[in-house]
Amino acid sequence: MLKLPKWFFQWSEENPTDIIGPAVLTGTVVTGAAVAAMIVAFDNPYRTEDIQTGPRGIGMAVSKFVEENPQYDEYEETYVAFDRVEVPEGTPTAAEAYGEVIAFGDMDQANFDQLTKAMSAWTGTDITLVVSEDADPTQLAITENCIETTQYLNDSWDTHNLASEGVGVNCYTCHRGQPTPPGSWLKAGAVNSAAEGWAAIQNRLLTYEGAHTATDFIHKYTQSEYTSLPVDAVEKFLLDGESIKVHDLESRVDQQPGDPTWQDAERTFSLMNHQSNALDVGCVYCHNTRAFYDATQVTPQWSITTLAQQMAIDVNQTFFEPRSEILGEESAKMNCMTCHMEVISPLNGRNMVAEWPELATMAE
């Protein structure tokens, strides 16, 4: 039996006709206590976590709902690690066992085979590293190119990929178990001969290469981020290496849409949307929003992102664009989404080169 508090009876005596007031108050108190108990028992579903980006005290922080776990890479759970195999002395090397191989010839045969299995699982493709009469020359050339790309990212761009600190990248970082990395992209191109120039790159829905392989990719990864902004931003900035900037002090009153300054500004906005979605962060992750143009008021992450942009340009120009000649068609390329897939630390910061340090060192 519910035992009512003394104040309830006192209220009833003093206000014999007013029963609604205390009833509402009692209900409010009981409901509040129940909600508080549920929060304590099951945690607050609206609890947030702040990631400080800029100097303390100026409000430059990224807030996320903890319940959504926004910085967790679900692909880490499906990653299959292939440990090295212990082999007895005298085991032949890959080169001794198979003759000429395109990479890792000094590795012992057992671990060479193990790495081949790993790469096959990571890329969703049957990898053949042994050069033989039955090998597909195109597949071998692409495999060699991919190995060199991985080693180059870990060696020449260690400042961003942190291979020396036990992170780095391997095939799975981009491929995620699929032949074509789901976050890769192709050039926009013209829709037809009548739609060229500026008209060809605006108001278009262009998904990343590989977006058709999983339903949830279709609504996530579009080159214009579902806006009317240009779809060729990553092509111009992360392949052609054009200057990324918006702000200047010149009046734009007399200019019309289609002016190169407007075009590059819109491309910059498109690229910023892409980078925000690729890492699932907001503007203040890199910028001070009172002065986007001022490089002296940015966060440390701005420098990291700028370095990553230069890395993407380098790798796209050095490996992925030339790969088109091997394929006989345009090769898919990389941008921020290719590795990050909506989190700041891909694969939850997992060490992707621990088992196979050969992927972190360029061949002599």
**Which two structure tokens, joined as six digits, stand for 68?**
């959504």
Separation between Cα atoms, residue 136 and residue 326, nearest integer Å: 12
**Which two structure tokens, joined as six digits, stand for 290?**
């009172």
- Where helices occur in the chain by DSSP H, the ranges are 6-14, 20-42, 75-78, 94-98, 109-123, 137-155, 158-161, 171-175, 215-218, 233-238, 260-279, 300-315, 321-327, 336-340
Residue 339 assigned to a binding site: yes
**Which two structure tokens, joined as six digits, stand for 313?**
């340009």
Residue 337 assigned to a binding site: no
Longest Cα–Cα distance of the chain, Å, equals 102
Separation between Cα atoms, residue 212 and residue 350, nearest integer Å: 27
CA distances from 215 to 70, 181, 193, 227, 298 (A): 19, 15, 31, 20, 37
Separation between Cα atoms, residue 84 and residue 359, nearest integer Å: 13
DSSP string, 65-134: EGGG-TT--THHHH----PPPP--TTPPBHHHHHSSBSS-TTSBHHHHHHHHHHHHHHHTS----B--TT
Separation between Cα atoms, residue 25 and residue 8, nearest integer Å: 10
CB 343 within 8 A of CB 73: yes
Taking the CB of residue 287, how many other CB atoms lie within 10 A of it? 23
Residue 174 assigned to a binding site: yes
DSSP state of 204: -
Residue 146 assigned to a binding site: no
Residue 352 assigned to a binding site: no
Backbone dihedral angles phi then psi of residue 34, each to the nearest 5 degrees:
-65, -45
Q: Where is the binding site, in residues?
A: 160, 171, 174-175, 272, 283, 286-287, 336, 339-340
Q: Where is the binding site for heme, in residues?
A: 160, 171, 174-175, 272, 283, 286-287, 336, 339-340
